[in-house]
Amino acid sequence: MEGETAAKAAASSSSSPSRYESQKRRDWNTVLQYLKNHKPPLSLSRCSGAHVIEFLKYLDQFGKTKVHVLACPFFGEPDPPAQCTCPLRQAWGSLDALIGRLRAAFEEIGGGLPESNPFAAKAVRIYLKEVRETQAKARGIPYDKKKRKRPFTAKATPNVDGGEGSGGSGGAALVVASTMV
């Protein structure tokens, strides 16, 4: 009997959910509670990208990130020298991670086709992009898109042997470097 209890305890501790899985479950339960308390109450099947954005805006009241408004004297300053009355919001990175977890949770419960996932809606992606840009401007730190390296197409190099090599044309050899675009 004792060994059986110890085995169950060991099995339950080794199969406890990861921190990510626990957070995903909490987030999912929060969304379901929000939809239940929505006026009028919403079922998950009737939830759209607009409802997801509404949920993200609702979460702003619990945020801890100061986002300076355009009229604030500290707008665009990364390290403001004094306090201001600008609102606290959810940080873009937190919202982005939350949406990633909710998108995965929706897929795990078998919410339907990927196109029907309200957490993956184009409107949600656009909203997150706007939040990121707004917060970056308010802090004075631009989120520049990483520059793509230009594909390396062709480069003319002279022959090493001065054009007198075996079978060479005596001119410049064309070296082509292929890159994936």
For residue 4, the model assigns a pLDDT of 45
pLDDT above 70 covers what percent of the chain? Answer: 70
Residue spans of alpha helices (H) in 38-163: 49-59, 92-108, 122-139
Sequence ranges of the domains in the chain:
19-139
Question: Tens digits of per-residue pLDDT, 85-97?
Answer: 888 899 999 999 9
pTM over 0.85: no
Q: How far apart are CA 61 and CA 90, in angstroms?
A: 8
**E strand or H helix at 156, and its extent?**
strand 154-158
